[in-house]
Amino acid sequence: MKRIHTLLFTLAFAALAQAQTATQPPRDAATPETVSVTGTGHATLVPDRFTFTVGVQTQAPTVEEAVNANNTKIAAALAALKKAGATDAEVRTAGFSIYPQQDYSQGQMPRLLGYQVSNSVTVTKKQIGEAGRLLQVAIAAGVNTAGGIQFEVSDPTRGRDQGLKAAFDDARTKAALLASAAGRTLGRAVAITEGTGAGEVVRPMMARGMVAQAKMEVSEVPVESGTQELTFTISAVFEMR
């Protein structure tokens, strides 16, 4: 009888141990060894938009005279630009200022000589080929300050696919090299993170001869748009086998 009880206890204990083993979760798989790298890609694009700023600076003994003279000249420049094809949406006022002109040479209280008024406008247009002609028109209309010509890519996403793919290829090449140096082979990418943003390297050609001599016929200003290079970065983690 005692042997029967012992046998039953042994069978029950074995069944309980098997049930506990069946309900235990499987052990976590070993964390794969990885290599983390960054990659850089570039996309070179031809600009499709230009921006330049031109203005009028006048001086007169009184504020009223300086402002009125400036208003007349900047109005003539705006009218000429719009007649030449710049729309209202493409021309905006960039700055307006009035400064007293003072003589400090006496070493005492400054002596007021008059006032200087400046008014400038910025022209932004997508037709790159119009840049030189519009500068010519503005100068011929009487502007006497100019600068800040830039050539831009209006839609940077044009080069995004190319740049990101190049960045991933660069990252994979680096990872394969490091894996090989460690005596391993490269596996799949397990994580990819895009960089904080696309950097830009702009290579514009500045306009030459932007201010004309008085009473001389103004020729078209020669300008070159150059190219714009967008830079993309990613971070990637690859398995090593």
> If you search the block for the tokens 């002596």, which residue do you land on?
111
Query: If you average pLDDT over residues 184-208, what whole number do you get?
Result: 69
Return the minimum-mean-pLDDT range out of 155-159, 167-171, 183-187, 218-222: 218-222
Look up residue 26 and give its DSSP letter.
P
- The amino acid present at 219, given as its one-letter code, is S
Q: What is the mean pLDDT of the chain?
A: 82
Query: If you average pLDDT over residues 40-61, what whole number do you get?
Result: 94
Query: If you average pLDDT over residues 63-72, what whole number do you get?
Result: 96
Nearest to 94 by CA among 36, 30, 145: 145
Predicted pLDDT of residue 133: 93
Q: Give the pLDDT band (50/70/90) at residue 215.
A: very low
| Alpha carbon distance 225, 97 (integer Å) | 31
What are the tokens at 55? 């203005």
| Alpha carbon distance 169, 87 (integer Å) | 44
Q: Are 145 and 118 in contact (CB under 8 A)?
A: yes
Task: Express each pLDDT in 87-137 by its tens digit.
Answer: 999 999 999 999 999 888 876 788 889 999 999 999 999 988 899 999 999
| Alpha carbon distance 140, 220 (integer Å) | 10
Domains of the chain: 30-46+155-241 (3.30.110.170), 49-152 (3.30.70.2970)
User: What are the backbone dihedrals phi and psi of residue 58, each rounded to the nearest 5 degrees, phi first?
Assistant: -130, 155
> 0.85 cut: is pTM over it?
no
Task: Express each pLDDT in 225-235 by its tens digit.
Answer: 788 888 999 99
| SS3 assignment, position 104 | coil
Helix (H) or strand (E) holding 106: none
Q: Would you put residue 114 in left (φ > 0), alpha (ψ -120 to 50) or beta?
A: left
% pLDDT > 90, the chain: 58
Return the minimum-mean-pLDDT range out of 11-20, 134-143, 178-187: 11-20
Residues 6+ apart with CB under 8 A from 187: 32, 238, 239, 240, 241
Query: If you average pLDDT over residues 53-63, what whole number do you get?
Result: 96
Interhelix angle for 131-140 vs 63-83, to 10°? 140
User: What are the backbone dihedrals phi and psi of residue 15, each rounded to the nearest 5 degrees, phi first?
Assistant: -65, -40
Within a 10 A sphere around the Cβ of 184, how many other Cβ atoms? 15
